[in-house]
């Protein structure tokens, strides 16, 4: 199958691991900006941002995965995804590239400390394994 006919994904880094989101689920990728905290939210909900007049909730992928928070860097990004007809921002350590996977395998029940339920599959590219995130499962909490 031609690469032009295959689904494309945006790869992102979290700690030392690579994950991906289908490109059609992504509204935009923005630099980190001030986040207004909202009281009484779960720890993974960092708050909200004003994205050109639209209020967007922002969640920490690190917190969702049970990882400790680290200081934000110049590479930290907010990936704004379209989820259930709304926009949600996901804080990631870095966004790396657009990829196409020749082979996508079923995810295991657990990958390290992360539930396999958060993934639709494991993409294989040049010998590297990339967890393809399942937004419905991942963002159902937020």
Alpha carbon distance 110, 93 (integer Å): 22
Q: How many residues does the chain have?
A: 142
The percentage of the chain sitting over the pLDDT mark of 90, rounded to a whole number, equals: 61
Give per-residue pLDDT as tens, 62-103.
998 888 999 999 999 999 999 888 899 999 999 999 999 988
For residue 49 the two structure tokens come to 């941002």
3-state helix, strand, coil in the chain (%, to 5): 10, 50, 40
State yes or no: pLDDT of 3 exceeds 50. Answer: no
* Domains located in the chain, CATH noted: 9-139 (2.40.50.180)
CA distances from 133 to 17, 49, 55 (A): 12, 23, 24
Give per-residue pLDDT as tens, 11-22.
999 988 899 999
């Amino acid at each position: 199958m031609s690469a032009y006919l295959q689904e494309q994904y945006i790869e992102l880094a979290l700690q030392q691991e690579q994950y991906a989101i289908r490109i059609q689920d992504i509204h935009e990728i923005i630099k980190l900006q001030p986040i207004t905290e909202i009281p009484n939210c779960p720890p993974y909900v960092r708050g909200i941002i004003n994205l050109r007049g639209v209020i967007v909730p922002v969640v920490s992928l690190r917190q969702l995965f049970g990882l400790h928070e680290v200081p934000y860097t110049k590479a930290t990004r907010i990936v704004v995804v379209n989820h259930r007809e709304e926009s949600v921002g996901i804080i990631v350590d870095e966004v790396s590239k657009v990829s196409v996977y020749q082979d996508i395998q079923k995810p295991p029940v657990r990958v390290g400390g992360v539930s396999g339920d958060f993934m639709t599959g494991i993409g294989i590219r040049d010998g590297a394994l990339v967890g393809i995130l399942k937004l419905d499962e991942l963002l159902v909490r937020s």
